[in-house]
Amino acid sequence: MFKNIGSKIMKLAQIYCWIKIIISISVGLAMIILRYLFTYLSTLFLIYGILLIILGPLISWIGSFLLYGFGRLVENSDIISGRK
């Protein structure tokens, strides 16, 4: 279960990033569609949807750096200590 934990942490960072990217794009598209279906919604709803589609994946990608870097650090410390 705890063997190769560094590579598992890095894989978790990748999966977490992709899930957040898919969710941000889906919610952004839903906001745009809802704006056109319900005309009483503000134009800001449309702008927020577009910003979420553009900035959401970027923020998700940047946010995964810390977790991926921690996994890389654990993996490299295992190599240095001779456990791997």
pLDDT tens digits, one per residue of 45-65: 899 999 999 999 999 999 999
Tell the burial category of 12 from Cβ atoms under 10 Å away from its Cβ (0-12, 13-18, 19+).
Answer: middle
Domain boundaries, the chain: 5-81
Whether the predicted pLDDT of 1 surpasses 80: no
Give residue-wise pLDDT tens across range 3-49: 888 899 999 999 999 999 999 999 999 999 999 898 888 888 899 99
Q: Specify the pTM.
A: 0.83
